[in-house]
Amino acid sequence: MRVLVPFDASDPNTRLAPVLDDRAAFAEAMLADVLAAIRNGDHEPVVLATESVDVDARVRVDDRPLSPAVNAALAEATLPVAVVMSDLPLVGADTIRRLVETAGEVVLAPGLGGGTNALVVRDSGFRVDYHGGSYRTHRQRARECDLTHATVDSFRLALDVDTPDDLGEVLLHGEGQAAAWLREAGFELDESDGRATALRRSDS
Amino acid sequence: MRVLVPFDASDPNTRLAPVLDDRAAFAEAMLADVLAAIRNGDHEPVVLATESVDVDARVRVDDRPLSPAVNAALAEATLPVAVVMSDLPLVGADTIRRLVETAGEVVLAPGLGGGTNALVVRDSGFRVDYHGGSYRTHRQRARECDLTHATVDSFRLALDVDTPDDLGEVLLHGEGQAAAWLREAGFELDESDGRATALRRSDS
């Protein structure tokens, strides 16, 4: 299946600014993990980027905001098509297979906090709206369009890296470039207060 | 399969104190959801409580801390046995079936933050230690005991209700008594800032 991976190439992961010097490099490491997972799951990634990026995958450039850019790609795509966010570094080939093999005209993977981290669209009438609590919006839209819909129950798909708190999960569960990048940048897993946290060696 | 459900009957969910007047009633609603999920999944719940509680299930009372209480129950149990935390109100019958049907002498479901929210034990040599980052500890122990181990990738098992932030997820995804309890207590889902939050009507 073709899997679109939206990627904000201009200003990624703004909420990580307080802890990461080079957010762009980390964002690219996460993107590389997602692309590898899709490919290892025997599917075909297409990066949907806000500007040209140098990655090992087909790139479609669209500088509009996320929802219109995804909807334009959906309108032109041969269905079924999947959309998987680029900030999901825990996703592996098995996760992608579970997503793609879940039956339903619309398949949704909720993110922590009510977003939609991944979806599969098998009906040409469905359009996305990532604004606000998009998981609820998308479920509602599927109902309004009278489409069968299902939810994928996955921690690896739910964990989008958004805030510094999420980096501990990457160090604990990640096996790809994003986890390696954090380690090289000096972060290590700290569980001394009972909660997985990414601590920079120089901070400790 | 027998499923042990540890339950702190004396002082549950301390971190919810700032927002919940009656933490005990909410803890019991979450416990009821977990017990219903286990039963609807055709398994047998046994509550492992710190003191006597009035619930619709067999109760084993053990006032020791979590790890020794669970280990004593494991030592006496006919294997396989599962242990599922009581503060997982998103868990349904399907989630329990996925957990129980995952192969492995030790099966682990990580919680957000590095804990172990559920596990299945099929070897009498395995003992738990919930202190600190227990997911990593349990994986390490399984390796040391030369046991096959697997991880269940489930958002519903990962989401333990610990802080006020987690209540938004309960309102968004919960379908049982815990979600109903929150609604009756005046909470409603607010996604106006783009993140699922539980807001009390009187606060808004």
ω before A80 within 30° of 0 (cis)? yes
Query: ipTM of this model?
Result: 0.95
Predicted pLDDT at B10: 87
Predicted pLDDT at A203: 52
* B155: closest CA of chain A, how far (Å): 4
Q: How far apart are alpha carbons A142 and A21 in whole angstroms?
A: 40
Q: How many CA atoms lie within 13 A of B130 on its CB side?
A: 17
Task: Please report, as a single letter, which amino acid is at residue A197.
Answer: T
pLDDT tens digit sequence for B19-34: 998 999 999 999 999 9
> How many angstroms separate the Cα of B84 from the Cα of each of A7, B44, B48, B173?
37, 12, 10, 19
Contact (CB, 8 A) for B128 and B67: yes
DSSP-based three-state secondary structure for A127: coil
Contact (CB, 8 A) for B191 and A114: yes
For residue B135, what is the nearest residue in chain A, using CA coordinates?
A172
Q: Is A175 on the interface with B (CB under 8 A)?
A: no
Q: Mean pLDDT score of chain B, rounded to an integer?
A: 95
Longest dimension (CA), chain A: 55
* B194 has a pLDDT exceeding 90: no
Contact (CB, 8 A) for B190 and B203: no
Q: How far is CA A202 from the centre of its chain?
A: 30
Q: Mean pLDDT score of chain A, rounded to an integer?
A: 95
Contact (CB, 8 A) for B153 and A95: yes
State mean pLDDT over B140-146: 97
Predicted structure pTM score: 0.96
Sort strands B106-110 and B44-49 into parallel, antiparallel or unpaired.
Answer: unpaired
pLDDT tens digit sequence for A159-195: 999 999 899 999 999 999 999 999 999 999 999 888 8
pLDDT tens digit sequence for B52-85: 999 999 999 999 999 999 999 999 999 999 999 9
pLDDT tens digit sequence for A13-41: 889 988 998 999 999 999 999 999 999 99
Share of chain A above pLDDT 90, in %: 88
Q: Is B114 on the interface with A (CB under 8 A)?
A: yes
pLDDT tens digit sequence for B97-134: 999 999 999 999 999 999 999 999 999 999 999 998 99
Nearest CA-CA partner of B5 in B94, B75, B95, B66: B66
Predicted pLDDT at B204: 45
Vertex A187 angle, CA A14 and A166, to 5°: 45
**What are the two backbone dihedrals, phi and then psi, of residue A5, each rounded to the nearest 5 degrees?**
-125, 95
Report CB contact under 8 Å: B132, A95: no
Q: How far apart are alpha carbons A179 and A188 in whole angstroms?
A: 10
Q: Is B41 on the interface with A (CB under 8 A)?
A: no
A163 DSSP 8-state letter? S
State mean pLDDT over A76-87: 97
Cβ atoms < 10 Å from Cβ of A131: 12
Contacts of B189 in chain A (CB under 8 A): 133, 136
